[in-house]
Amino acid sequence: MSIIAGQGDAARSLALLWGEGEAGSERTAPGPKPALSVAAVVAAAVEVADEGGIAALSMRAVADRLGRSSMALYTYVPGKAELLDLMYDRAHAELPGAYPQDDGWRAAATAWAADLRALYLRHPWLLQVSYARPVLGPCEQRVMEALAGVLFATGLPASTLRAAAAALFDLVRGGARTRAMVRRGWLR
């Protein structure tokens, strides 16, 4: 399983992730309004990656799915690297923003881990995106904030909480990566 590093231009990705300066949103040029949206491009790209993995993801494949030319996509996203950042964050939108702690923090942490693992198995291409430089989008942040809220209930000091969150995240990601590799026949 290859890892995709060197994600998109941070400033461009962050502007799109947080809804600032979405291409085509304040169009003043003459001519027809753009028929797509960043969200539609990202959704199509997620579908392409879900079906064929990162190797199948290209601007051409996404454009074909949308019935457009690949050049038309550059109206919405600067390039494939930024598109991948947007896809990564969009996939994390599927996870809850909080976990009830009625049964204690351990049950909530277990639910968080199970949901994250299921997300990775639904979208195994996520495991190929390096998190050495986090995407820092709103959905990814909400996932980490949900875990922080759960772990805060342990009463551990902040420095220990950071280490515990990182360890749990790494454990879930590693376990999901192994499972995804077994599913694809890369490990037996």
Residues 83 and 32 both lie in one domain: yes
In whole angstroms, give the CA distance from residue 124 to residue 50: 7
Residues 139 and 171 both lie in one domain: yes
> pLDDT tier at 122 (50, 70, 90 boundaries)?
very high
Residues 62 and 101 both lie in one domain: no
Contact 31, 106 (CB under 8 A): no
The predicted model gives 32-39 an average pLDDT of: 80
Establish if 1 belongs to a structural domain.
Answer: no
Report, in angstroms and rounded to the nearest whole number, the Rg of the chain calculated over CA atoms: 18
Q: Which range among 143-152, 162-171, 179-188 shows the weakest confidence by mean pLDDT?
A: 179-188
Establish if 26 belongs to a structural domain.
Answer: yes
Amino acid at 3: I
In whole angstroms, give the CA distance from residue 85 to residue 83: 5
Amino acid at 153: A
Number of structural domains in the chain: 2
In whole angstroms, give the CA distance from residue 121 to residue 173: 10
Establish if 4 belongs to a structural domain.
Answer: no
Residues 116 and 86 both lie in one domain: no
Establish if 166 belongs to a structural domain.
Answer: yes
Q: Which of 66, 91, 116 is the last residue of a domain?
A: 91
Residues 50 and 70 both lie in one domain: yes
Residues 22 and 83 both lie in one domain: yes
Residues 50 and 73 both lie in one domain: yes
Domain hosting 14: range is 10-91
In whole angstroms, give the CA distance from residue 141 to residue 100: 18
Q: Encoding tokens for residue 181?
A: 């590799």
In whole angstroms, give the CA distance from residue 101 to residue 149: 10
Q: What is the pLDDT of residues 51-106, one digit of tens each?
A: 999 999 999 999 999 999 999 999 999 999 999 999 999 999 999 999 999 999 99
Please report, in angstroms and rounded to a whole number, the separation of the first and last CA atoms in the chain.
14
